[in-house]
Amino acid sequence: MKNISGAFVCLTSRVAEYLATAKFSSIRRACITQTNTPNGVQFSPDIEKKIKSSTNLDDLLDVLAESPFWSWIDLRLLEALVAASGSSKCDTLISSYKEAIFSRKLIDILPNVPSKELKEKYYMKIVSKLDKEADDITVADLLEFRSQLEVVIMDIKNGICVLDHFKDGCVEIHWYIPAEIVDHAYQTASIQYHKFHELHLQYLQIGSFPPIYNPLMMRLPQLESVPSLPDIADTMTII
Give pLDDT tens digits for 176-196.
999 999 999 999 999 999 999
Residue 23 and residue 122 in contact, taking contact as beta carbons nearer than 8 Å: no
Q: For 1, what's the count of Cα atoms within 13 Å in the CB-facing half-sphere?
A: 18
DSSP characters over 97-130: HHHHHTTSBHHHHGGGPPP-----TTEEEEEEEE
Instruction: Note down pLDDT in tens along the chain; length 239 residues.
Output: 558 888 999 999 999 999 999 999 999 999 999 888 878 888 888 899 999 999 999 999 999 998 888 999 999 999 999 999 999 999 999 999 999 999 999 888 876 666 666 656 788 999 999 998 888 899 999 999 999 999 999 999 999 999 988 876 678 999 999 999 999 999 999 999 999 999 999 999 999 999 999 998 765 444 344 444 455 444 444 33
Hey, how many other C-beta atoms are within 10 angstroms of the C-beta on 180? Answer: 10
Choices 3.90.1150, 1.10.10, 3.30.70, 1.10.3470: CATH for 114-213: 3.30.70
In degrees and rounded to multiples of 5, residue 173 shows phi and psi of -110, 130
Domain ranges of the chain: 4-101, 114-213
Angstrom distance (rounded) from CA 122 to CA 230: 66
Angle ∠(52,57,59) on CA atoms, nearest 5: 65
